[in-house]
Homo-oligomer: A and B are copies of this chain.
Amino acid sequence: MLISEFARATDLPVDTIRFYISKGLLKPERSAKGGSNPYQTFRREDVTAARMIRLQQTLGYSLGEILALNEEYRAGEQSCERTIAVLQKQIARLEERKAALDAALSFLHGKVNWIKAGKRDDAPRLEDYQC
């Protein structure tokens, strides 16, 4: 797969793909198709990696953290324990964010209910809510 197809497959701009490569987040092959092909070749696992990056990003990880996590994951590929440890670490982080999200949601729902009940001024205040 050439970079333009890869861009279509991942819905990422070509420049962003090259940027990720420069950061070590993507590692396409510089394959020799027939002998001397100077172009990068992307595989299905690169598409997976790109999706994983997008996912981790929406979950609040920086590119630096994503790189570290993924290298840790790769480093521990021989050992199930290490792989599981990396996954558990991500799970813990996501559970944390989910808890914050749920707290915010219940605050907002509560506020809506009070306003609907016509008791706007008695509605829960952010002051009384520990984030």
Contact = CB atoms under 8 A, between A and B. Distances in A.
A68 interface: no
Copies of this chain present in the complex amount to: 2
B100 A48 contact: no
Q: Which secondary structure dominates chain A's binding surface?
A: helix
Size bin of chain A's contact surface = 35 or more
Given A59-B101, A131-B54, A80 B120 contact: yes
B131 A55 contact: yes
Interface of A: 44, 47-48, 51-52, 54-55, 58-60, 80, 83-84, 87-88, 90-91, 94-95, 97-98, 100-102, 104-105, 108-109, 111-112, 115-116, 118, 120, 125-127, 131
